[in-house]
Chains A and B, each alone.
Chain A
Amino acid sequence: MNIVVCVKQVPDTATERKLRSDDNTIDRSANGVINELCEYAVEDALKLKEAYGGEVTVLTMGPDQATDAIRKALAMGADKAVHLSDEALHGSDALSTSYALSQALKKIGFDVVILGSESTDARTGMLAAMLAERLGVPQLTLASKIEVAGSAISIHRQTDYGYDKVEATLPAVVSVVEKPDPFKPRYPSFKGIMAAKKKPIEKIGIADAEIDPAQIGLAAAWSVVADFTPAPPRGKGVVVNDEGDGGTKAAEFLVSKKFI
């Protein structure tokens, strides 16, 4: 099975994240880390490979620093990587990004594409659905469980009430959600980290993937940020120590705010 897993490098959420004042895009100069849900995508890709054979290719779009995310995925066990990197891609919105990635995916070829269900920076949660739309293949998103039998694939899609069982025929686009142990992403072993250094990372630009420059970057954006401001600070709250009446005090507060 030809498995492609899309990973993204994002600003570390433990640091202060910023927008750039020159063009209102996300400041990516700060500490970058692999988006956490992408690690789940890599894990699920490796599990599929282990169960059904095949190869796992990492695909990432982003500036040169994004190689850190690629190395992590390779160290976990992915076989090779394609890094789509081009100045022209800077400032791409969800529509452009889905377009550029879909072009790269067409070039790479795939039976299944796996993504994290959302990134911690933009958090739109749309990319997998948009890729399915662009590629004209089934969308199997928010998966907490994936099963493949021949060319049939089925997932458990996480919902507010439990899950939906969804089936399709390969090729397909899958996005995955966070899961508890024992389904957490594996840690790269020392051997894995060493091996990753020798695994091929193919760098491609927009011409290689036949990406139309008019459809990408800040200039092509379908939506634009007009302005941004830090959220107003919350007012100082009232804190009481429990001296046996903490619950009563809390109830009084809720009454004063008309919640009771």
Chain B
Amino acid sequence: MAEILVLVEQVDGEIKKVTLELLTLARSLGEPSAVWAGPGYTDVAKARLSEYGAEKIYVADSADIADHLVAPKAELLASLVGSRSPAAVLIASTTEGKEVAGRLAIKTDSGVITDAVGVAEGFVAEQPVFGGGVVVHSKVAKGTPIIALRPNSTQPVATAGAGTEEKVDVALSDAARGARVVERVKEKTSSRPELTEAAIVVSGGRGVGADFSIIEQLADSLGAAVGASRAVTDSGWYPHEFQVGQTGKTVAPQLYIAAGISGAIQHRAGMQTAKTIVVINKDGQAPIWEIADFGVVGDLHKVLPQLIDEITKRK
């Protein structure tokens, strides 16, 4: 069966869920080979990748790779594309994943598709465009298909793979060492899942007000990530990296709860492919209702505390 390269997304050696989704999808298309880029590779990582079907694991764990921005990962993948001729390369459609995909496409003279939510036989990718209003099927016409898939596109399913390790040494070019990462500043103090990866997102809008603790409490009761509308990030009530929408993050969780958000088209552009949408808004005419699966017309400051109580009770 054809080999499919899957670039592992990991932070400090911890594998992100999207990688398991990519491995699951890769199994339906061929034989997945995980590509580990950067330090932090351990037996735990090996076990996890094998559990989800990696037949091979290419390990390039020099510190150099993580110490320089994006380019080294593209170089590593390009060298593997050159030497192994895989049928396709799957990458997470995160901000960094897409950048890797773009550079890899140039290096390998291959077509690239971003923000895919599915890949069918013949590497036909499905992409929602224009904020989810239109569904496009596209195909790579030249080279090795490079497809970036959005987190939460598939459910990860464990099926053991051989997980045969192979060390890869890449001699990075000078060009790949151009941008040096000198410090990683971790501002996130919570243990909440990451916004773009989370299965559940609880978002608050202007209706919440400056105190976002009610949104954080609901998120924590559900093990969810916190999101915000631009009205909120603009006011400085919550940091910009939590903004959902056209000029913020795109999320496609199983459940999206929008509290005090009117549902402007620019906000919807970032969340309307969520599987289930729950709305709490005191205005029954707000545009967000057009995409609600369930909702309560009411004051969120009354509804949410009760909802949190109910969730805590039922756990």
**Interface residues, chain A, CB within 8 Å of chain B?**
13-14, 16-19, 24, 36-37, 93-95, 98, 117, 120-121, 123-130, 132-134, 136-142, 144, 154, 156-169, 172, 177-181, 221-231, 234-235, 237-242, 244-251, 253-255, 257, 259-260
Contacts and interface: CB of A to CB of B under 8 A. Distances in A.
A224 B112 contact: no
Interface of B: 11, 69-71, 74, 95, 98-103, 105-107, 109-115, 124, 128-143, 175, 178-188, 194-196, 200, 222, 233-236, 240-241, 243, 246-248, 250, 254-255, 265-266, 269, 273, 276-280, 284, 289-299, 302-311, 314-315
B105 A94 contact: yes
Contacts of A160: 188, 194-196, 241
A72 B204 CA distance: 33
12 contacts: A13-B265, A16-B133, A129-B103, A158-B241, A159-B184, A223-B111, A225-B136, A227-B136, A228-B129, A230-B135, A249-B296, A251-B310
B250 to A, nearest CB: 8
Given A160-B196, A250-B307, A253-B294, A125 B138 contact: no
Contacts of B188: 160-162
A213 B294 CA distance: 52
Given A126-B102, A247-B303, A224 B240 contact: no
B133 A17 contact: yes
Most chain B CB neighbours (cut-off 10 Å) among A154, A167, A259 = A259
Contact of B70 (A18, A117, A141, A156): A141
A79 B191 CA distance: 47
Nearest to A128: B99
Contacts of A36: 246-247
Chain A at the B interface: mostly helix, strand, loop or mixed? mixed
Contacts of B304: 247
A153 B276 CA distance: 44
Contacts of B105: 94-95, 130, 222
A248 B102 contact: no
Given A230-B133, A259-B200, 12 more contacts: A17-B130, A129-B70, A140-B179, A158-B95, A160-B195, A163-B185, A224-B141, A234-B291, A239-B297, A241-B297, A246-B303, A257-B276
Nearest to A257: B276
B138 to A, nearest CB: 5
Given A178-B243, A223-B112, A255-B314, A141 B306 contact: no
B114 A125 contact: yes
B293 A234 contact: yes
Contacts of B310: 247-248, 250-251
Contacts of B241: 158-160, 162
B276 A222 contact: no
A19 B127 CA distance: 13
Contacts of A222: 105, 109-112, 140-143
Nearest to B266: A13
B134 A139 contact: no
A166 B296 contact: no
B244 to A, nearest CB: 12
Nearest to B247: A178
A71 to B, nearest CB: 22
B240 A179 contact: yes
A223 B139 contact: yes
B265 A14 contact: yes
Contact of B307 (A168, A221, A247): A247
Contacts of A177: 240
B99 A242 contact: no
Given A17-B133, A239-B297, A162 B307 contact: no
Contact of A246 (B115, B179, B298): B298
Given A133-B107, A142-B95, A250-B296, A162 B139 contact: no
Contact of B138 (A16, A120, A137, A224): A224
A40 to B, nearest CB: 9
Contact of B134 (A13, A14, A229, A255): A229
Nearest to B291: A234
Contacts of B302: 242, 244, 246-247
Given A136-B175, A251-B314, A241 B103 contact: no
Contacts of B295: 237-240
A181 B179 contact: no
A184 to B, nearest CB: 8
Contacts of A125: 95, 98-99, 114
A144 to B, nearest CB: 7
A139 B71 contact: yes
B111 to A, nearest CB: 3
Contacts of B291: 234, 237
